[in-house]
């Protein structure tokens, strides 16, 4: 007997309801527990959250998985958040017991890596740091991620347009200190189809969709904070 799976439309509706429900729950919790407004908290801290999330662009090599976090589909966005949390938590886990530790690099200077006391202290402190980072990642998932989805609906427009092929890359070629802009379709096709000549480069506003979305989100929240301080 085959398992019943919700249709894509139903999955989108359920995921959207989850995000809205978390936003409403956070508004109540922040008002009752912390005595502050959840939306204002995100408006002032979202800049830091977005810029910190942008660092994942250099640490997370799976580009397709990162694209989930800029999706308009709330079900895909939630799946991307859970995947990100799972990868992060797994990366924090220590080597399995019984498995021989393999140093990742040889250190020429004696920095105390082989000291039993230093190793025991690092094991203890790493456990505390891993616990703190795990709790912070859970807090991000519950408090920051829901509003991040709605911000990325706007901030992710350039990235999504680039992924659709709606934004043309700027192709330039540098020779003898002069920069030549390849403008015609024939020149661009010749440049991209064959091996690029020396000094040639392809440039695009949304070359890294995930990173540019986080940067755009930070800009939107920064401007929103300024407007609120001026008009609020």
pLDDT in tens, 116-157: 887 788 888 988 988 888 888 888 899 999 999 999 999 999
Q: Which residues contact 108 (CB under 8 A, 6 or more apart)?
A: none
Higher per-residue pLDDT: 168 or 10: 10
DSSP single-letter state for residue 195: P
Strand-pairing partners, residue 122, are none
Cβ neighbours for 75, distance < 8 A, ≥ 6 positions apart:
8, 11, 12, 14, 15
Cα 199 → chain centroid = 31
Mean pLDDT of 89-115: 63
Give mean pLDDT, residues 41-63.
72
Predicted pLDDT of residue 161: 87
Predicted pLDDT at 1? 42
Report how far residue 173's alpha carbon sits from residue 196's, in angstroms, rounded to the nearest whole number. Answer: 9
What does the pLDDT average to over 2-10?
A: 66
pTM reported for the whole predicted model: 0.75
For 164-213, the pLDDT digits (tens) are 877 666 666 666 666 666 655 555 555 554 444 445 555 666 567 788 88
* Residue 13: predicted pLDDT: 93
Q: How far apart are CA 54 and CA 45, in angstroms?
A: 15
Confidence of residue 52 (pLDDT cuts 50, 70, 90): confident
Phi, psi dihedral angles at 153 (to 5 degrees): -60, -30
The mean pLDDT value for 61-78 works out to: 81
Average pLDDT rounded to a whole number, residues 77-85: 88
Where are the chain's structural domains? 1-94+123-166+218-232, 168-203
Token pair, residue 156, equals 């992710």
Output the pLDDT for position 24: 96
Tokens of 173: 């070629």
CB 172, CB 198: distance < 8 Å: no
Instruction: Give the percent of the chain with pLDDT over 70.
Output: 65
pLDDT score of 210 = 81
Stretch 50-76: mean pLDDT, rounded? 73
**pLDDT (0 to 100) of residue 168:** 65
DSSP per position, 109-123: S--STT-HHHHHHHH
CB atoms within 10 A of CB 101: 8
Mean pLDDT of the chain: 77
pLDDT of residue 42 exceeding 80: yes
Count of CA atoms in the C-beta half-sphere (13 A) of 81: 23
Predicted pLDDT at 182 = 60
């Amino acid at each position: 007997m085959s398992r019943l799976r919700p249709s894509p439309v139903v999955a989108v509706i359920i995921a959207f309801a989850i995000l809205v429900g978390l936003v409403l729950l956070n508004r109540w919790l922040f008002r009752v527990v912390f005595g502050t407004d959840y939306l204002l908290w995100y408006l002032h801290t979202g800049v830091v959250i977005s810029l910190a999330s942008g660092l994942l662009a250099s640490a997370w090599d799976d580009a397709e998985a990162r694209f989930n976090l800029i999706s308009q589909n709330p079900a895909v966005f939630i799946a991307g958040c859970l995947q990100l949390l799972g990868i992060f938590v797994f990366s924090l886990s220590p080597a399995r017991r019984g498995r021989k530790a393999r140093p990742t690099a040889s250190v020429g200077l004696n920095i105390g890596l082989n000291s039993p006391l230093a190793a025991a202290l690092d094991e203890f402190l790493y456990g505390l740091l891993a616990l703190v980072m795990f709790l912070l990642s859970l807090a991000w998932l519950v408090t920051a991620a829901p509003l991040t989805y709605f911000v990325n609906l706007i901030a992710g427009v350039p990235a999504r347009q680039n992924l659709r092929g709606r934004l043309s890359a700027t192709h330039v070629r540098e020779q003898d200190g002069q920069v030549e802009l390849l403008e015609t379709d024939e020149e661009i096709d010749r440049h991209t189809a064959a091996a690029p000549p020396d000094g040639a480069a392809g440039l695009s506003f949304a070359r890294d969709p995930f990173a540019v979305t986080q940067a755009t989100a930070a800009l939107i929240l920064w401007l929103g904070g300024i407007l609120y301080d001026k008009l609020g």
